[in-house]
A and B are shown apart, each in its own frame.
Chain A
Amino acid sequence: AQSVSQHNHHVILSEAASLELGCNYSYGGTVNLFWYVQYPGQHLQLLLKYFSGDPLVKGIKGFEAEFIKSKFSFNLRKPSVQWSDTAEYFCALRGYSSASKIIFGSGTRLSIRP
């Protein structure tokens, strides 16, 4: 079965704390992996993506993610969060074929206390 699991539904942190959001996937083949962010009232934006190569991927706004193939994981990290990081975060995958849909996780709501 093709799926993406995000284990943390709601994470609450103080400013300057470190962040790690978990993501595990199930897919029978080669995948591309993504993290999207949805700020309140805004559209989905791409934070970072992994297609191939270096499994440590750096994205916008200081975010990074590590692809660990043996663990089917693609966790998102940020060393020091800011109040403006308050948003919903979605992990997603897409297979290689031209007809591939994007499969999203259920999302993690991140709340940052100022």
Chain B
Amino acid sequence: ETGVTQSPTHLIKTRGQQVTLRCSSQSGHNTVSWYQQALGQGPQFIFQYYREEENGRGNFPPRFSGLQFPNYSSELNVNALELDDSALYLCASSPGGTGNTEAFFGQGTRLTVV
């Protein structure tokens, strides 16, 4: 176990709907990042939060948004869901400060858009 927990584990949504995924970071970690892993591919970086501020974003449209709370837990919100949004969404936490740290991943949320 990594100490990073995500909820829910599985989710089915209809195209056009909105979804919120949650992540509790490992104790003492102030950096949370989100990744999308499509079937048969490696995880793709969505964005990262450091001390409640977004400090990095990948090549994802604005309908992917997030929040980080004072306790460093985080949410990923996706609006206007599309079929291609079906994927495993991974949350990772790390101590932050520099990139010279290891990231610890949660078990992921499997999102299916129908």
Q: CB within 8 Å of B: which residues of A? A: 4, 32, 34, 36, 42-46, 49, 51, 90, 92, 94-107
In contact, B108 and A104 (Cβ under 8 angstroms)? no
In contact, A51 and B103 (Cβ under 8 angstroms)? no
In contact, A96 and B42 (Cβ under 8 angstroms)? no
Known: A43-B108, A103-B45, A106-B41. A97 touches B98 (CB 8 A): yes
Known: A44-B90, A46-B102, A95-B99. A104 touches B42 (CB 8 A): yes
- The 8 A CB mask of B47-83 against A (1 = contact, 0 = none) is 0101000011010000000000000000000000000
Known: A96-B99, A97-B99. A102 touches B92 (CB 8 A): yes
Query: Binding site of B, secondary structure by majority: helix, strand, loop or mixed?
Result: loop
Contacts of A95 in B (CB 8 A): 99
In contact, A100 and B56 (Cβ under 8 angstroms)? yes
Contacts of A90 in B (CB 8 A): 42-43
Known: A51-B100, A98-B98. A43 touches B42 (CB 8 A): no
Contacts of B45 in A (CB 8 A): 101-103
Contacts of A42 in B (CB 8 A): 107
Q: Does B89 contact A (CB under 8 A)?
A: no
| Bound: A43/B92 CA distance, A | 11
Known: A43-B106, A44-B105, A94-B99. A101 touches B42 (CB 8 A): no
Q: Does B93 contact A (CB under 8 A)?
A: no
Having A43-B105, A99-B48, one finds 11 other A-B pairs with CB under 8 Å, namely: A43-B4, A43-B90, A43-B107, A46-B102, A96-B99, A98-B97, A98-B98, A98-B99, A102-B33, A103-B45, A106-B41
A99, A106, A107 interface centre (most CB from chain B within 10 Å): A99
A59 CB, nearest partner CB in chain B, Å = 12
Smallest Cβ-Cβ distance to B58: which chain A residue = A101
Q: Does B20 contact A (CB under 8 A)?
A: no
Q: Does B2 contact A (CB under 8 A)?
A: yes
| Bound: A83/B103 CA distance, A | 27
Smallest Cβ-Cβ distance to B47: which chain A residue = A101
